[in-house]
Amino acid sequence: MLESATACRAFDDSRLSTAYSGNDVTSCPFAEAVRTAYVRALGSKRYSDDVVGTLKIRAHSPVTKKDYVMTCTDTNPVMCRGGNNAVVYIASYQDAG
């Protein structure tokens, strides 16, 4: 899954450290915004291994200057879809290997 994605930025060393652009219509700045919004929505659960399930978030695109609703599934890696066919993965950088 991550083999075809583009690693954008590693934020820390957690299991949700890195945003990945999952397709050619998803910019790295937007993937990073989705990752930030997802981690913020999780709150303290981001440090837990508890299954969160599906979570809807709103992320702001620095490219289009618009907000988009993304639906994220708590899988490994986390997969978020929405907006204008955007796909974002969130995982640790080590999981990309």
For the chain, what is the mean pLDDT?
87
CA distance 22 to 52: 21
Q: What is the pLDDT of residues 13-46, one digit of tens each?
A: 777 889 999 999 999 999 999 999 999 998 766 6
pLDDT computed for residue 8 by the predictor: 93
Host domain of residue 53: 2-96
Structure tokens that stand for 34 in this block: 């989705």
Number of domains in the chain: 1
pLDDT computed for residue 97 by the predictor: 47
Of 81, 77, 41, 83, the closest CA to residue 63 belongs to: 83
What amino acid occupies position 2?
Answer: L
Which tops the pLDDT comparison, 12 or 65? Answer: 65
